Amino acid sequence: MNLCDIKTVKQIMSAFHLSFRKEYGQNFLIDRSVVEDIAEECCQDKNGTILEIGPGIGTLTYELALRHDKVVALEIDRGLIPVLSHTLGEFDNVTVINEDVMQADLDTLLAPAFARGSVSVCANLPYYITSPILMKLLESRLPFDYITVMIQKEVADRLCAPAGGKDYGAITAVLAYYGEAERLFNVPADRFLPAPKVDSAVVRIRLHKTKPAVPKDEALLFRTIKAAFAQRRKTLANSLSSGFSELNKTEITEIIAACGHSADVRGERLDISDFCALSDAIGKHL
Ligand code: SAM
């Protein structure tokens, strides 16, 4: 069965009386080499477990199951579960669970997998919920090796942006705290059925085993980053003034200077180490 063949995909959907559900971001991959490349490059350790989010009709799951020891796939759409039993029936290393990833207790679900070896995430993510899923995975603090995701190209641009660039923002800095993002390749919209309105890109995040920069107070770090990017066209001093009403402008100017930045610096110039130092300096004044 060729799950990348448009006719086959349509036949499967019709045989199971299903239609593509827009509200679940159902754009299925129909390019075999893209699917193979993602399954191959999503992580280095092929003896570990892959958590897939949103297997759809099993196109990527199939290639993951061929290459990795074990695949655990979470699919929100109950209608797709019998399809997955059909398309993945030949594998005994795939577990499909009908669950919303945002509701899933990943700690409990993946405890046996982590006990066995490495665990990585691989997913062609539904566009409507990309950032919440990514943040849930990162904030879970589960020691994934890699998180490899197909996402909207513009989001990939932001995740992989260098400090100082136009795409660098709060999500770039927060992601850099947890790991290192690398764009593997871009995927045009016509490689999906139905074709979305936007192009996509595959991003692989290697999670830090040891974080290169650690703040004294993590919540304060995230508050500082959020404040720094809340008003993009403002200088860092003005943005922090709005975000930290407990501090007066002079204190903020002194903190920024003490961290070695010029008075008119903007938030996008600061990398994650700079933000850790800045939030530590703010912490001393609170
Ligand atoms: N992996 C398939 C592929 O590459 O062809 C399908 C990818 S499609 C972009 C996204 C999939 O995620 C759909 O199957 C959709 O039903 C599923 N999905 C959407 N929201 C979800 C959620 N909150 N939890 C789990 N799966 C979800």
pLDDT digits (tens, 9 = 90+) for 74-119: 999 999 999 999 999 999 999 999 999 999 999 999 999 999 999 9
- 94 bridge partner residues: 71
Q: Which atom of ligand 1 is nearest to the CA of 3?
A: 5
Report which of 145, 144, 109, 149 is spatially closest to residue 131, judged by C-alpha positions: 149
- On whether the CB atoms of residues 161 and 167 are closer than 8 A, the answer is yes
CA 159 / ligand 1 centre spacing (Å): 21
Domain residues of the chain, as ranges?
6-207, 218-283
Report which of 272, 280, 275 is spatially closest to residue 177, judged by C-alpha positions: 272
Domains 6-207 and 218-283 share a fold: no
| 75 touches ligand 1 (CB under 6 Å) | yes
Return the pLDDT at 75: 98
Q: Which residue type sits at 274?
A: D
CA 31 / ligand 1 centre spacing (Å): 17
Q: What's the chain's average pLDDT?
A: 97
Return the pLDDT at 233: 81
Ligand 1: residue whose CA is nearest its atom 1: 55
| 30 touches ligand 1 (CB under 6 Å) | no
**What fold does the segment set 6-207 form as a domain?**
Rossmann fold (3.40.50)
| 126 touches ligand 1 (CB under 6 Å) | yes
| 150 touches ligand 1 (CB under 6 Å) | no
Residue 232 has pLDDT above 80, yes or no: no
Q: Is the peptide bond before 194 cis (omega within 30 degrees of 0)?
A: yes
Q: Which atom of ligand 1 is nearest to the CA of 21?
A: 16
Q: Which atom of ligand 1 is nearest to the CA of 29?
A: 5
| 200 touches ligand 1 (CB under 6 Å) | no
The predicted-structure confidence for 117-140, as pLDDT tens digits, reads as follows 999 999 999 999 999 999 999 999
* Tokens 């499909």 found at: 96
The predicted-structure confidence for 22-34, as pLDDT tens digits, reads as follows 999 999 999 999 9
Q: Which atom of ligand 1 is nearest to the CA of 104?
A: 24
Mean pLDDT across the stretch 154-181?
A: 96
Mean pLDDT across the stretch 228-251?
A: 93
Give domain 218-283's CATH architecture: Orthogonal Bundle (1.10)
